[in-house]
């Protein structure tokens, strides 16, 4: 399987999975309360709705393609290709879901894609020597934060944790080899028993449930570009947690991502 074909499938399955989930949640309506009755109704709906099942199956396949991709290619090569999903999400939300995609959302999707592309294209730098002074960064969340952005921050943090841990786990296991059924089965078994990947999947699960909640009342063309804040979280985590040196290109990439997020907020 060529790398171009692999990454094309990755982008398409990510976008289509989002579209199917959004369609399913639009049919359910807004989740306004978190009492037992509402949560039970939502759980039954999620387990019985065809659009939700189609979305989950598509996104599960997309995650498998992602793991295969990062086992064969650098994460910094996969991310710029994957960033094009923001534009396709807006396009298909307009074509399939009939969402009214405002001009600022189009501009935000394009700016965010450019920003992610710049961040991902920067060359990998060796880590800084360990510092005795532990630098921690905190994301202030006030109680007055709008529920959209509170949900987006939770989603982005969980998604960033999932991306980093599953990529690290897949690279530890080694490149995917589909030359024989036995080798492919052993590779999949290694995925299912790797602690990093299992922890990453827990992060993805948290992000998925938050995404479902946001889609119950907000448009896909608004929610998905807003989650680009996760790339900023990843960059901060790399600098302050992993002690990586941050190149100028990565810092410049933050600018269009930030502008895109401001456009969404407006």
DSSP 68-118: HHHHHS-HHHHHHHHTTHHHHHHHHHHHTS-----HHHHHHHHHHHHHHHH
d(CA 64, CA 176): 11
Task: Of 84, 236, 258, 256, give the one whose Cα is nearest residue 160.
Answer: 236
pLDDT 10s digits, 187-223: 888 888 999 899 989 998 998 888 888 888 888 877 8
Cβ pair 224, 209 in contact under 8 A? no
pTM (two decimals): 0.72
CA distances from 4 to 69, 81, 82 (A): 10, 10, 12
- Residue 135: the pLDDT is 33
Backbone dihedral region for residue 128 (phi beyond 0: left; psi -120 to 50: alpha; all else: beta): beta
pLDDT band with cut points at 50, 70 and 90 for residue 75: low
Residue 26 above 80 pLDDT?
A: yes
Of residues 238, 231, 204, the one with CA closest to residue 120? 231
Residues β-bridged to residue 244: 127
The answer to whether 116 and 228 are in contact (CB under 8 A) is yes
pLDDT of residue 261: 66
Q: Which domain holds residue 181?
A: 3-265
Q: Which residues contact 125 (CB under 8 A, 6 or more apart)?
A: 244, 245, 246, 247
- For the record, the structure tokens of 133 come out as 């002074």
Average pLDDT, the chain: 77
SS3 call for 112? helix
How many domains is the chain built from? Answer: 1
| Residue in 14, 87, 15 with CA at minimum distance from that of residue 260 | 87
pLDDT tens, residue by residue, 142-172: 334 467 778 888 888 898 888 878 878 887 8
What is the residue whose two structure tokens read 């020597």?
129
């Amino acid at each position: 399987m060529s790398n171009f074909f692999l990454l094309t499938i990755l982008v398409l399955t990510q976008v289509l999975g989002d579209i199917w989930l959004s369609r399913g949640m639009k049919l359910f309506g807004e989740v306004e309360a978190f009492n037992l009755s509402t949560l039970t109704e939502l759980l039954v709906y999620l387990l019985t709705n065809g659009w939700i099942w189609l979305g989950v199956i598509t996104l599960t396949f997309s995650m498998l393609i992602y793991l295969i991709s990062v086992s064969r290619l650098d994460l910094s090569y996969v991310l710029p290709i994957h960033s094009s999903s923001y534009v396709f999400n807006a396009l298909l939300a307009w074509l399939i879901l009939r969402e009214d995609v405002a001009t600022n959302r189009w501009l935000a999707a394009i700016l965010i894609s450019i920003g992610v592309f710049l961040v991902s294209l920067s060359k990998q730098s060796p880590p800084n020597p360990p510092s005795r002074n532990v630098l921690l960064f905190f994301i202030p969340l006030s109680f007055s934060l709008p529920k959209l952005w509170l949900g987006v921050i939770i989603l982005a943090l969980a998604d960033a944790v999932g991306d980093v841990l599953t990529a690290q786990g897949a690279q530890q296991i080694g490149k995917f080899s589909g030359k024989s059924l036995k080798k492919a089965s052993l590779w999949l078994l290694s995925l299912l028993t790797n602690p990093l990947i299992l922890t990453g999947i827990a992060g993805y699960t948290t992000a998925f449930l938050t995404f479902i909640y946001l889609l119950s009342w907000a448009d896909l063309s608004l929610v998905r570009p807003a989650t680009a804040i996760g790339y900023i979280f990843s960059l901060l985590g790399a600098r302050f947690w992993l002690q990586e040196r941050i190149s100028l290109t990565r810092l410049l990439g933050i600018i269009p991502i930030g502008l895109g997020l401001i456009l969404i907020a407006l």
